[in-house]
Amino acid sequence: MPSLYKMPVEQLGGIGKKKSELFAKLGIMNVGELIRFYPRTYEDWSMPYTIASAPENTPCCIRASVDKVYAPARLRGGMLLLKVDVTDGEDCLKLTFFNQQYTFDKLSSGGEFLFYGIVKANSFGYEMSSPQVMTTDRASIHPIYHQTAGLSTKQTEAAMRQAIRLLPEKVNDPIPQNILEKYNLCTLDFAIRNIHFPETMIHAAMARERLAFEELMTLQLGLAQMKTARREITTNRISNIFTDEFTALLPFELTGAQKKAVDDCIKDMSESCYPMNRLIQGDVGSGKTAVAAAVCYNVIRNGMQCAFMAPTEILSVQHFKSLSELLENTGIKIELLTGSLTASKKKAVYERLANGETDLVIGTHALISDSVSFKKLGLVITDEQHRFGVAQRAALISKGESPHIMVMSATPIPRTLALMIFGDLDISIIDELPPGRQKVDTFLIDGDKRDRAYGFLKKEIAAGHQCYIVCPLVEENVSGLASAEEYARHLQETVLSDCRIGVLHGKMKPKDKESVMDSFTNGETDILVSTTVIEVGVNVPSATVMMIENAERFGLSQLHQLRGRVGRGKNRSYCILVSDNQSETTLERLSVMCRTNNGFRIADEDLRLRGPGDFFGSRQHGLPELKIADLSGMELLEKTQSAARTILQDDPLLEKKEHRGLAFAVRSLFAAGGNTLN
Ligand code: ADP
Ligand code: MG
Which ligand has the nearest atom to the CA of 385? Answer: 2
Closest C-alpha to ligand 1, atom 5: 287
CB distance 563 to ligand 1 below 6 Å: no
pLDDT per residue as tens digits for the range 371-423: 999 999 999 999 865 666 667 778 888 899 889 999 888 777 766 666 666 66
Annotation: CATH topology of 1-40+143-167: DNA polymerase; domain 1 (1.10.150)
How far is residue 121's CA from residue 178's CA, in Å, rounded to a whole number?
53
Cβ 636 vs Cβ 216: under 8 Å: yes
Which tens digit of pLDDT belongs to each residue from 224-234?
777 666 567 88
Say yes or no: CB of residue 412 within 6 Å of ligand 1.
Answer: no
* CATH fourth-level superfamily of 47-138: Nucleic acid-binding proteins (2.40.50.140)
Please tell me the number of the ligand nearest to residue 290's CA: 1
> Ligand 1 in contact with 236 (CB < 6 A)?
no
What pTM value is reported for the model?
Answer: 0.61
Q: Please give the number of the atom of ligand 1 that sits closest to the Cα of 288.
A: 2
> Which is it for the CA torsion 23, 25, 31, 34, positive or negative?
negative
CA nearest ligand 1 atom 15, residue:
287
Q: What is the pLDDT of residues 20-30, one digit of tens each?
A: 999 999 989 99
Spacing, Cα 251 to ligand 1 middle (Å): 11
Tell me, in angstroms, the distance from the centre of ligand 2 to residue 539's CA.
8
pLDDT of residue 476: 45
Task: List all residues 6 or more positions away from 296 whose beta carbon is below 8 Å from its beta carbon.
Answer: 306, 308, 323, 360, 379, 381
Q: Ligand 1: does its nearest atom lie under 6 Å from the Cβ of 254?
A: yes
CATH class of 440-614: alpha beta
**Ligand 2 centre and the CA of 587: distance in Å?**
29
Fold of 243-430: Rossmann fold (3.40.50)
Residue range 83-130, pLDDT digits in tens? 999 999 999 999 999 998 889 999 999 999 999 999 999 888 999 999
Ligand 1 mean position to 296 CA, how many Å? 16
Give 176 Cα–ligand 2 centroid separation in angstroms. 44
Is the beta carbon of 284 within 6 A of some atom in ligand 1? yes
Question: Is the pLDDT assigned to residue 523 strictly greater than 70?
Answer: yes
Which phi and psi angles does 87 have, rounded to 5°?
-140, 150
Question: Is any ligand 1 atom within 6 A of the Cβ of residue 289?
Answer: yes
pLDDT per residue over 556-609, tens digit each?
Answer: 888 988 898 898 888 999 999 999 888 888 888 899 999 998 887 888 787 777
Protein residue whose Cα sits closest to atom 9 of ligand 1: 287
Q: Which residues contact 232 (CB under 8 A, 6 or more apart)?
A: 274, 275, 402
**382 Cβ inside 6 Å of ligand 1:** no
CA gap 675, 672 in Å, rounded: 8
What backbone phi and psi angles, to 5 degrees, belong to 159?
A: -65, -40
